[in-house]
Chain A
Amino acid sequence: MRLVILDNYDLASEWAAKYICNRIIQFKPGQDRYFTLGLPTGLPRNHPESYHSYMWNNFFKHIDIDPNNAHILDGNATDLQAECDAFEKKIKEAGGIDLFVGGIGPDGHIAFNEPGSSLVSRTRLKTLAMDTILANAKYFDGDLAKVPTMALTVGVGTVMDAREVMILITGAHKAFALYKAIEEGVNHMWTVSAFQQHPRTIFVCDEDATLELRVKTVKYFKGLMHVHNKLVDPLYSMKEGN
């Protein structure tokens, strides 16, 4: 694993963005060679704070992706299991995920793979843990009754199949989860720990997220920052010949 520690949220976000940018460009994508980016799925549609709205406003409307190449799990599908199976199939047909970018819940979950999720799980319907519902309440005017209790999510196994995984972790409230994920053993109660067995994982975090780690761990990885920074500097551009 690579553990990249930046001073604050903004710097961590920027570093991660540059890294993704460079990865895509180095991949040399083209008409017949798509870079498949995986992102964690979320809430059902038809809600003001729907994941579709969120993804549109924060991502899709700023880029020129062909809408047919954006695949989002549909929480309003009539047969949810079929929807999940179809999603897995689409991933396979796309040649697998090149880079999966996700976050970590305070309970150490990846996507909505709550504590106790199988570490080889696939895309499926999950009941959300209270912690997750509380964390999402801010998107529903703080009204717990309005927060969805179920969600479709990619499985731990699905993410493990990606060629590379990037986990973004910022804030002190995530510190304990990060500790459990990388300094303790692989455990289905902290599903992010599964990535200890992935060949290519990178954790990008801010100082606050490291608060529960051993000083030795933090010092070791901070000492490697000059190596890590080579991954984002120089920052490539599609316009140049690179």
Chain B
Amino acid sequence: MRAGQGAARAPVLQFTNCRILRGGALLREDLWVRGGRILDPEKLFFEERLVADEQRDCGGRILAPGFIDVQINGGFGVDFSQATEDVGSGVALVARRILSHGVTSFCPTLVTSPPEVYHKVLPQIPVTSGGPHGAGVLGLHLEGPFISREKRGAHPEAHLRSFEANAFHDVLATYGPLDNVRIVTLAPELGRSHEVIRELTARGICVSLGHSVADLRAAEAAVQSGATFITHLFNAMLPFHHRDPGIVGLLTSDQLPPGRGIFYGMIADGTHTNPAALRIAHRAHPQGLVLVTDAIPALGLGNGRHTLGQQEVEVDGLTAYVAGERHDLVAHSPSEPGLCSQGTTTLSGSIAPMDVCVRHFLQATGCSVESALEAASLHPAQLLGLEKCKGTLDFGADADFVVLDDSLHVRATYISGELVWQAEEARQ
């Protein structure tokens, strides 16, 4: 906490003519910022007897907490799972480019990779604060390799692992030091998962269930051991069955530890989840929904063939599939009108930016604007235990926020009260 003379002399910024998301509602209030944090104007008025040093008119727009993306594999040609000599530059590039999507904090995600990749890449991606250089890195999300063979999705089979032999020691041997790790996705049906979950949780690492064939009982046991998240609900897990809802059943389970809820990631890109399924999940447990992009390196690039981890993917419009052998295999997904001329039907991550996901989520579920915005900001912050300083516009929180128009397009992005990105203004 930076109190004292330095902070007291920092200029006071007052954002006027706006609606801010606070307490779950859009309020017609001004947003006050000082020293990179949200300021309480009442205290400023009565205790310090100060007024704003600068006022900025927001043109009647919406000010929401900056979006937090806890599952993003890369973008703009950068692949976080590739062990290059200068991983830092790639992360920095993505961090800067996602500012225009309204993302102010993110968890670079690595898919299933061989240990050498983890040992090389992890130390090169430290936790960092955001700023004009780009969104802040909250820590890494390691998705795999301790996942189910059957539900590996686009993850390479050759590099899947289990921790049956040495439990947590296998984890450490695979990843190396866990200092920069924030989230680990694993399949709880793997032997000795409970020891691993407990050990990870004890170190403050969020355990997520995904790429798994666990039934509901196994999933509940995992949550009781400490798991708090579900990786891209519906995808890479058993489908909901009325006699065994599987991992999906966690949304309405009565076996969760008291006082603890379950969060679940959803890719609302219009492809990964049918809108009706999105609505079922949202209605069953709206407070746990976390919007993620699960974006791949092809995010921000055009159609064509790109690398993801140890595999190649094919991009067509807003969809990406695992690239197949070069046969004339004509395959298409039942819900998508587009055809993949030489690929598979296995989805391979998404290329929809976070703000597109927010808009699609809003439109598909018919939920309130406040709900849609919280799903991309407050909920991921709560998942990571950061809700006092991120994902919120409460007094004292970091001043990371986005300026949105009524259709939820990003007009400007702020980190620590500083303008870090702005849309080209055609007029006014």
Measured CB to CB, the residues of A under 8 A from B are: 52-53, 56-57, 60-61, 64, 66-68, 70, 72
**Which residues of A are found within 8 Å of B41, using beta-carbon distances?**
56, 61
Option from A57, A64, A66, A67 in Cβ contact (under 8 Å) with B46 = A67
* Interface status of B42 (Cβ within 8 A of chain A): yes
Q: How far is the CB of A152 from chain B (nearest CB, A)?
A: 15
**Which residues of A are found within 8 Å of B49, using beta-carbon distances?**
67-68
* Interface status of B418 (Cβ within 8 A of chain A): no
**Which residues of A are found within 8 Å of B42, using beta-carbon distances?**
52-53, 56-57, 61
**Which residues of B are found within 8 Å of A52, using beta-carbon distances?**
42, 46
Main secondary structure of the interface of A (DSSP, over half): helix
A177 to B50, CA, bound (A): 41
A67 to B46, CA, bound (A): 7
* Interface status of B51 (Cβ within 8 A of chain A): yes
The answer to whether A67 and B51 have CB atoms under 8 Å apart is yes
A187 to B48, CA, bound (A): 42
A40 to B48, CA, bound (A): 23
**Which residues of A are found within 8 Å of B45, using beta-carbon distances?**
56, 60-61, 67, 70
The answer to whether A61 and B51 have CB atoms under 8 Å apart is no
A-facing residues in B1-59 (Cβ within 8 Å):
30, 41-42, 44-46, 48-51
A72 to B50, CA, bound (A): 16
A57 to B45, CA, bound (A): 12
Which residue on chain A has the smallest CB distance to residue B30?
A61
Q: How far is the CB of B220 from chain A (nearest CB, A)?
A: 38
Which residue on chain B has the smallest CB distance to residue A61?
B41
A66 to B50, CA, bound (A): 8
Q: How far is the CB of B33 from chain A (nearest CB, A)?
A: 16
Number of A-B contacts (CB under 8 A): 26
Q: Top 3 nearest A-B pairs by Cβ distance?
A: A67-B49, A56-B42, A67-B45
A67 to B30, CA, bound (A): 17
Option from B44, B48, B50, B51 in Cβ contact (under 8 Å) with A64 = B51
Q: How far is the CB of B17 from chain A (nearest CB, A)?
A: 13
Which residue on chain B has the smallest CB distance to residue A68?
B49
**Which residues of B are found within 8 Å of A60, using beta-carbon distances?**
45
A64 to B48, CA, bound (A): 15
Which residue on chain B has the smallest CB distance to residue A62?
B30
Q: How far is the CB of B27 from chain A (nearest CB, A)?
A: 11
The answer to whether B51 and A56 have CB atoms under 8 Å apart is no
A53 to B49, CA, bound (A): 15
Q: How far is the CB of A215 from chain B (nearest CB, A)?
A: 44
A61 to B52, CA, bound (A): 12
A56 to B47, CA, bound (A): 12
A53 to B41, CA, bound (A): 11
Which residue on chain A has the smallest CB distance to residue B29?
A61
Q: How far is the CB of B67 from chain A (nearest CB, A)?
A: 28
Q: How far is the CB of A211 from chain B (nearest CB, A)?
A: 36
A56 to B41, CA, bound (A): 9
**Which residues of B are found within 8 Å of A68, using beta-carbon distances?**
49
**Which residues of B are found within 8 Å of A72, using beta-carbon distances?**
46
Which residue on chain A has the smallest CB distance to residue B45?
A67
A72 to B44, CA, bound (A): 15
Contacts A/B (CB < 8 Å), 11 sampled: A52-B42, A56-B45, A56-B46, A60-B45, A61-B41, A61-B45, A64-B51, A67-B46, A67-B50, A70-B46, A72-B46
A61 to B46, CA, bound (A): 11
**Which residues of A are found within 8 Å of B30, using beta-carbon distances?**
61
**Which residues of A are found within 8 Å of B51, using beta-carbon distances?**
64, 66-67
A61 to B41, CA, bound (A): 8
A61 to B30, CA, bound (A): 9
Q: How far is the CB of B326 from chain A (nearest CB, A)?
A: 66
Q: How far is the CB of B82 from chain A (nearest CB, A)?
A: 51
A52 to B45, CA, bound (A): 10
Q: How far is the CB of A181 from chain B (nearest CB, A)?
A: 33
A68 to B44, CA, bound (A): 11
**Which residues of B are found within 8 Å of A64, using beta-carbon distances?**
51
Which residue on chain A has the smallest CB distance to residue B49?
A67
**Which residues of A are found within 8 Å of B46, using beta-carbon distances?**
52, 56, 67, 70, 72
Which residue on chain A has the smallest CB distance to residue B42?
A56
Which residue on chain B has the smallest CB distance to residue A60?
B45
Which residue on chain A has the smallest CB distance to residue B55?
A64
A72 to B49, CA, bound (A): 12
- Binary CB contact string for chain B from 42 to 83 against chain A (1 if under 8 A, 0 otherwise): 101110111100000000000000000000000000000000
Which residue on chain A has the smallest CB distance to residue B46?
A52
A61 to B51, CA, bound (A): 10
A185 to B195, CA, bound (A): 84
Q: Apart from A56-B46, A67-B49, what 15 extra A-B contacts exist at CB < 8 Å?
A: A52-B46, A53-B42, A56-B41, A56-B42, A57-B42, A60-B45, A61-B30, A61-B45, A66-B51, A67-B46, A67-B48, A67-B50, A67-B51, A70-B45, A72-B46
Q: How far is the CB of A169 from chain B (nearest CB, A)?
A: 29
Q: How far is the CB of B370 from chain A (nearest CB, A)?
A: 21
Q: How far is the CB of B55 from chain A (nearest CB, A)?
A: 10
A70 to B48, CA, bound (A): 12
Max chain A C-beta neighbours (<10 A), residue from B42, B46, B48: B46
Q: How far is the CB of B29 from chain A (nearest CB, A)?
A: 8
A53 to B30, CA, bound (A): 15
**Which residues of B are found within 8 Å of A56, using beta-carbon distances?**
41-42, 45-46
Which residue on chain A has the smallest CB distance to residue B52?
A64
**Which residues of A are found within 8 Å of B44, using beta-carbon distances?**
67
A228 to B49, CA, bound (A): 38
A60 to B42, CA, bound (A): 9
Q: How far is the CB of A85 from chain B (nearest CB, A)?
A: 21
Q: How far is the CB of B247 from chain A (nearest CB, A)?
A: 42
A238 to B351, CA, bound (A): 54
Q: How far is the CB of A189 from chain B (nearest CB, A)?
A: 35
A67 to B50, CA, bound (A): 6
Q: How far is the CB of B286 from chain A (nearest CB, A)?
A: 27
- Binary CB contact string for chain B from 282 to 305 against chain A (1 if under 8 A, 0 otherwise): 000000000000000000000000
Max chain A C-beta neighbours (<10 A), residue from B41, B42, B44, B51: B42
A52 to B44, CA, bound (A): 12
